[in-house]
Amino acid sequence: MRSKELSKQKILRNDPGVLGGRVLGRVLERGPAGLGWDWGSGLLGHALAGQEADRKGCLRFLRSWVDRHLAAGTPISDSGGIPWKLGVGTAVLGLWRERSAPRYDRRVREMLAYAAGVPRFAGGLVASKADRPEVWVDSLMTLCPFLARAGAEGISSTGGSEALEQLALHAGALQDPSSGLWYHAANVKSGRQLGQLWSRGNGWAIFGMVETLELFPDVPESATVRRVLRRTVDGLLAAQSVDGSWHTVLDRPETFVETSGQAMLVHGLAKAARIGVLPARLVRRAREAAWRGWIPLSGHVSDSGEVTGTSIGTAALDLGHYASRPTASWPVWGPAAVLLAAGELARPD
């Protein structure tokens, strides 16, 4: 049910189906040439694999992008963020489901083998960096949806439980117990949290949770993640501004509103409300918060489908670093996040 607080005029002017269609058209027009083999491109691949509009065009885009990297032998490993290239995995799984081609099956199994060999700390928490004892929230966007989808497809017998385990372990390291929001990173040896309560990082966290819980909502391991999700949603509702926006540092309203973080939070709240993993007291509030968040987000989509206001790569540093990050129209995770948000809100009630 769309929020009754939104006027019919606002809904029509900011219709997610219309604006999502513009963004999709612009993405397909740009084409996959030059698209990397990394977490940002993987998020776009994930969004395109789930599109209902122009299904043939999206599949052509995905095949061209994935096949180019398979032919070039682009590696899975990434010393900059050990599990982060696995973010392309759900797009490859989407092609595997459509075509069952040996090249896609082979790459999925290589990715699963790589995921199994990623270094872990005591207790099983996946390491995010090769040279530092750190865990980053970004891994929840890359690793967990891939493992969960592989488990749901029957390619991995343990993918679902592994994804849920990592979500719970990351929450223990990164979720602020008082606000329910997530820090960007943590030093596992010292236990010190790093960076800020970053909107895009919280978007990664809720994305990992809803994508995994959608596939494994009722297994025993999901109970912990559902509690973590509930605390996250409570925190995001408290942090949302009156106009529907979230600031790039969630507890610092003097910082700017960053497009990809805003979009990932809209998507995560709307999907959490839809898939039946929230308590009744939060379902309506989460859905309405997503719709309120869509209004300022929609202002970042131009008539030609360009998405503005997405910050470039961001490190886990001090407040000034987050507050001063440059923005542009084609860090690929910007349109990817808007497509995810628009697609979720445009679903039939």
Helix (H) or strand (E) holding 165: helix 159-174
Question: Above 80 in pLDDT, residue 99?
Answer: no
- Of the listed ranges 2-6, 138-142, 309-313, the least confidently predicted one is 2-6
Output DSSP code: residue 300.
T
C-alpha to C-alpha distance for 30 and 134, rounded to whole angstroms = 36
> In the structure, how many helices (H) and strands (E) does the chain have?
14, 5
pLDDT score at 7: 47
In terms of Cβ atoms closer than 10 Å to its own Cβ (0-12, 13-18, 19+), residue 100 is exposed
| pLDDT over 90 percentage in the chain | 92
Helix (H) or strand (E) holding 286: helix 280-298
Helix (H) or strand (E) holding 187: strand 185-187
C-alpha to C-alpha distance for 7 and 10, rounded to whole angstroms = 5
φ, ψ of residue 190 to 5 degrees: the values are -90, -20
134: which 2 tokens?
Answer: 């750190």
DSSP string, 214-257: HHSSSSTTHHHHHHHHHHHHHHHHHH--TTS---SBTT-TTSPP
Average of per-residue pLDDT values in the chain: 95
Which residue would you say has higher pLDDT here, 243 or 53?
A: 243
pLDDT score at 13: 63
Q: What confidence category does residue 2 fall into, taking pLDDT thresholds of 50, 70 and 90?
A: low
C-alpha to C-alpha distance for 251 and 222, rounded to whole angstroms = 28
Output DSSP code: residue 185.
E
| pLDDT over 70 percentage in the chain | 96
C-alpha to C-alpha distance for 309 and 318, rounded to whole angstroms = 21
Q: Tens of pLDDT along 247-265?
A: 999 999 999 999 999 999 9
Contact (Cβ atoms closer than 8 angstroms) between residue 335 and residue 27: yes
pTM for the full model? 0.95
Question: Above 50 in pLDDT, residue 151?
Answer: yes
Contact (Cβ atoms closer than 8 angstroms) between residue 101 and residue 153: no
pLDDT score at 1: 47
Average pLDDT over residues 96-101: 83
Q: What confidence category does residue 12 fall into, taking pLDDT thresholds of 50, 70 and 90?
A: low
Q: What confidence category does residue 127 fall into, taking pLDDT thresholds of 50, 70 and 90?
A: very high
Cβ-based neighbour number of residue 103 at 10 Å:
15
Output DSSP code: residue 69.
H
Average pLDDT over residues 199-211: 98
Please give the domain boundaries of the chain with CATH numbers for all domains. Answer: 8-344 (1.50.10.10)
C-alpha to C-alpha distance for 226 and 203, rounded to whole angstroms = 16
C-alpha to C-alpha distance for 28 and 17, rounded to whole angstroms = 16
